[in-house]
A and B are shown apart, each in its own frame.
Chain A
Amino acid sequence: MNLYELTIHQAHMLLKNKEISSQELTRSVLERIHLLEDKIGAYITIADEIALEQAKAADDSISRGNMTPLTGIPLSIKDLMCTKGLKTTCASKILENFVPPYDAFVIQKLKQAGAVITGKVNMDEFAMGSTTENSSIKTTRNPWDLTRIPGGSSGGSAASVAADMCLGSLGSDTGGSIRQPASHCGIVGMKPTYGRVSRFGLVAFASSLDQIGPLTKDVTDCALLMNAISGYDKNDSTSVPKEVPDYTKSLQKDITGLKIGIPKEYYEVKGLDPEVEKAVAGAVKKFEEMGARCVDVSLAHSKHVVAAYYVIAPSEASSNLARYEGVRYGVRDMEKEEILEMYRSTRSKGFGPEVQRRIILGTYALSAGYYDAYYGKASQIRTLIMEDFKNAFESCDIILSPVAPTPAFTIGENTDDPLTLYLSDIFTLSANLAGIPGMSVPCGFSKNGLPIGLQIMGNHFNEELMLKAAFSFEQSGDFHLKKPGL
């Protein structure tokens, strides 16, 4: 086996037993990145020198007997998280030269744990999109079929993990941006409960929905990364001061008596691909064979989730993106001599079409005369969506559903039809609106060989039960062991 193919927990054992060094492991991953980057397009910035320095420091630390499960492990980071001294572009022209003066909370935690950062990976500009086609830097391709999208917005993270161009990655999820690309690339991705992981240093898209989480080759690695990044942070006023459990203790195979909620509304969605439906039904059956019990639950406001989300998220985005005016950071149109002209020209040249579309939509929804009809109404419906989940979790422990209605589609297929693209997020958005955790685990393949993901959703701060269910399912089959033919 090549070193770059290892999972985090496999590599940890080899590092611990001194069978390999972090420098060997990191070199193997960097060579893999350089070999495949032209084909996959996962990375915006490859941090060869920094990675090798960190790997050397990790080896020194290990030789002193000082190591954590992440010491010496090469990880990629979505280019939306601030990395001190390492360019952070958000895949936008407006930030193409931005070098943060500080590390995001999660990066501080990874560095403290001794992890190695291989670079910053591609995404939809400012995390807006479901395909990674909205990157202003490059196109990322799905490692399972290079003509297809990897999903988005954490498409670079998902592709880099699936193509063994890192051992694990961090992404962010505002409406499904970790779970959906994880599903399309056949890996594990988790969006934790809102507030479980600090957003300090995560460039804001929609602040009440954004959450950082891991994308990994298997469930065990997901638990390991969750252990490293979770926890209270005084720099994020929405961070929840709640003790963090050891998530690896959840990795048990006994799910006897687990009550699984099946939301009937999810199966009434138009456009649900029969192959996705079949794979998810197969997964539900497997859970029943393992001793779980299915109960019907109702998420009555499911049909309004997309509309509510596409009012709330652009509204928050339009406000958050007001800070890019070409004065304090980012690029500036130097030709304009009048300040308003400079702002307008800088922003128009700096933001891509999807970002501008959402700024316009959000500004419209928040403007005088429309606020109550749009933002106010959507915020009330968000309350109803949260109540649906609260009621559902009174009769079940976890909820199972598809992640996306279809497997990955071809690049360019839906570029000019934003509403159709927005509807492809229908199964993932509600977890963000309700603040509950959700994850994607591989549950099958289409006849074209494209991965299909199963979504597991849990109640607030119940990541442990989700991981237990995901681990049991994963260990009952071999979907997580399959690799794209690259």
Chain B
Amino acid sequence: MKITKQEVLHVARLARLDMDDESVDKFAGQIGTILEYVDTLQQVDTRGVKPTSHAISLSNAFREDGEISHMDRDKALANAPEKEDGYFIVPKVVG
């Protein structure tokens, strides 16, 4: 298998996803098949080929260096699952 169950679990942890045993088994199989297919890329000689970072030639995009208004606080908070006194509420981070 191209990717082990342990690796799936490790990557899931990095990606902030919980995963039950059934999902780990399924993803290990499916992602393994996809990675084996993706490995065909190694057959291509890419020595000296620059990677593409952008499909269209563009120089840097700068905006005018001036003041712009920001989103109103109430609007920014409107979709928050929990909020109080103009702040987002999150679970306790430090002990």
Contacts and interface: CB of A to CB of B under 8 A. Distances in A.
Interface residues of B, number: 50
Contact of A434 (B49, B55, B78): B55
A344 B54 contact: no
Contacts, number: 171
B41 interface: yes
Given A97-B79, A328-B79, A345 B18 contact: yes
B52 A330 contact: no
B14 A99 contact: no
Interface string A284-310: 000000000000000001011011101
Given A330-B79, A379-B52, A339 B34 contact: no
Contacts of B49: 380-381, 383-384
Given A339-B92, A344-B16, A334 B81 contact: yes
Interface in B54-76: 54-56, 58, 61, 63, 71-72, 75-76
A330 B81 contact: yes
B79 A329 contact: yes
B56 A240 contact: yes
A339 B93 contact: yes
Contacts of B78: 99, 101
B40 A328 contact: no
Contacts of A237: 61
B15 A363 contact: yes
A61 B58 CA distance: 39
A367 interface: yes
B68 to A, nearest CB: 10
Residues of A in contact with B, size category: 35 or more
Given A195-B56, A377-B46, A384-B49, A343 B11 contact: no
Interface stretch (A213-221, A353-361, A398-406): A353-361
Contact of A419 (B7, B37, B52, B54): B37
Q: Pick the most buried of B16, B50, B58, B90: most chain A CB atoms within 10 A of its CB.
A: B16
A102 to B, nearest CB: 8
A238 to B, nearest CB: 7
Contacts of A433: 52, 55
A357 B60 CA distance: 34
B75 to A, nearest CB: 4
Q: Main SS of the interface on chain A?
A: helix
Given A340-B16, A367-B11, A377-B46, A360 B81 contact: no
Contacts of B3: 364
A346 B11 CA distance: 17
A347 B55 contact: no
A418 B34 contact: yes
B41 A332 contact: no
A344 B18 contact: yes
A264 to B, nearest CB: 19
A361 B34 contact: yes
A338 B88 CA distance: 16
Contact of B63 (A195, A234, A304, A379): A234
A382 interface: yes
Q: Pick the most buried of B15, B40, B55: most chain A CB atoms within 10 A of its CB.
A: B55
A344 B79 contact: no
A307 B40 CA distance: 8
Contacts of A434: 55
A181 interface: no
A360 B41 CA distance: 19
A381 B44 contact: yes
Contact of B17 (A194, A356, A418): A356
B51 interface: yes
Nearest to B46: A380
Contacts of B54: 208, 238
A187 B81 CA distance: 40
A103 to B, nearest CB: 13
A378 B41 CA distance: 7
A89 to B, nearest CB: 12
A167 interface: no
7 contacts: A311-B38, A327-B90, A334-B81, A345-B18, A377-B41, A379-B53, A383-B52
Interface of B: 3, 7-8, 11-12, 14-19, 23, 27, 30-31, 33-35, 37-38, 40-42, 44, 46, 49-56, 58, 61, 63, 71-72, 75-76, 78-82, 88, 90-93
Given A208-B53, A374-B41, A380-B51, 13 more contacts: A194-B56, A339-B90, A339-B91, A339-B92, A344-B18, A348-B19, A361-B35, A364-B31, A367-B11, A377-B44, A379-B53, A380-B46, A435-B55
